[in-house]
Amino acid sequence: KENRQYEHELSLVVERFRSIVTDLNLSDQVIDKIEIEINNIFASSETIYSKLEALKAVGEDTLAQILSEYLTSLGMNAKYLNPKDAGLILSDQPGGAQILEESFEKIYRLREYDEILVIPGFFGYTSTGKLVTFSRGGSDITGSIIAAGVKANLYENFTDVDSVYCVNPTIVNNPKEIATLTYKEMRELSYAGFSVFHAEALIPAVRAEIPVCIKNTNNPNCPGTMIVAKKEIQTGENPVVGIASDEGFMSLYISKYLMNREIGFGRRLLHILEDEGISYEHTPSGIDDMSVIMRANQMDERKERNVIKRIKAELKPDQVHVARGLALIMIVGEGMQRQVGTAYIATKALKDANVNIEMINQGSSEVSLMFGIKEEAVNAAVKSLYQAFFE
């Protein structure tokens, strides 16, 4: 029964690819080859985890082969190149692989090809030849790695929007587009919910100082959004480039009188979280209290009980409690470093929207200003902030 189910699901996948090939007037040979490859994955003696990695890569790999065939049919000198042949050597971290430094020397040799190279994204191989994938949305990472490796002048990343918008268009109708962003600004916006470009994909481009242009696949003539290392900030220019929001956070609050005199208190608290495999996002603090902001999906009820029990036993706080249902709002712009009053405008906008601020945090770089609020207040907060800064 399981085999019949697997064969049925496989046939649906193959037929979907076959319909694409038919629409493009290509030979069925490419699909026959792909069907054999998928069957080989199931028939292999690899572990279930290795098979899963290989299956996750099938979509990207198949479409790259189809695209190469299609470009060739149009008379272009195109060539499909497997990531292994392209030189992508990754760490052995399935679902979260990282590029190894030794890859870049090999990737640079791609400049020697005369063909238009079509390289599938999202996966690569370890030094031992094991297929591993990047995190979800990792095709952006592949493109950035290749651009950095060949020392490109520009990396164009095609998506389904004309540009990066200054706010989530599902919250604010027809928001303003962003013409130019810096790497730092894009990183801050990506962290807090801007999903148009994979946050990790910026790393290779940043290190190689390669400009990135976000463009629309269905509207390629639109100029899109440029992401650059530095930009000129004009006098009188809006210091804020974007407002991002993300839900699913929680805070761990600890209060203890004279906490500031207790050497190593913060280190011991974070060590407890480390022991439970929990990473933190922010740690706003006062002289006698400290909050740790983290993704709520990291701490289930069991971990919460263990953490609180250890905090009470090892740190002996006056108070400790957990608050869930938090959202973070990031107001981002390198221009905030030069302009007084951004925090005032933001807090007034939140007050006008009757949104209570649970937490506020701003780094010394002043590239972003972060507010913690209740999740149910996100839409009202974002709309009010957009009106204050962009209308």
For the segment 16-59, what is each residue's pLDDT rounded down to a tens digit? 989 999 999 998 887 888 888 888 887 777 787 888 888 889 88
- Provide mean pLDDT across the span 65-70: 95
CB of 133 within 8 A of CB of 97?
Answer: yes
- Alpha-carbon distances of 238 from 61, 245, 268, 333, rounded to whole Å: 43, 19, 42, 9
Res 4: pLDDT: 52
Residue 373 has pLDDT above 60, yes or no: yes
209 φ/ψ angles, rounded to the nearest 5 degrees: 55, 45
Mean pLDDT, the chain, as a whole number? 91
- Provide mean pLDDT across the span 304-315: 96
Share of the chain above pLDDT 90, in %: 69
Res 128: pLDDT: 94
Q: Please state which CATH class domain 242-390 belongs to.
A: alpha beta
Residue 356 has pLDDT above 90, yes or no: yes
272-278, long-range: CB within 8 Å, 24+ apart, which pairs? 272/307, 272/310, 272/311, 272/314, 273/307, 275/310, 276/303, 276/306, 276/307, 278/303, 278/307
Res 31: pLDDT: 82
CB of 169 within 8 A of CB of 175?
Answer: yes
- Left if phi > 0, otherwise alpha if psi is -120 to 50, otherwise beta: which for 151? left
pTM (predicted TM-score): 0.82
Three-class SS state of 352: helix
User: What gap in Å lies between CA 115 and CA 376, rounded to an integer?
Assistant: 52
End-to-end distance of the chain based on CA atoms, in angstroms?
Answer: 60
DSSP of 68-85: HHHHHHTT--EEE--HHH
Residue 91 has pLDDT above 60, yes or no: yes
Res 65: pLDDT: 93
Domain coordinates in residue numbering, the chain? 242-390
Query: What are the pLDDT digits (tens) for 197-248?
Result: 777 888 899 899 999 999 999 999 999 999 999 888 877 788 899 999 999 9
- Provide mean pLDDT across the span 291-309: 94
The token pair that represents 185 in the structure block: 């600004």
- Provide mean pLDDT across the span 156-173: 91
Res 374: pLDDT: 96
Res 320: pLDDT: 96
The token pair that represents 13 in the structure block: 């996948």
Res 1: pLDDT: 41
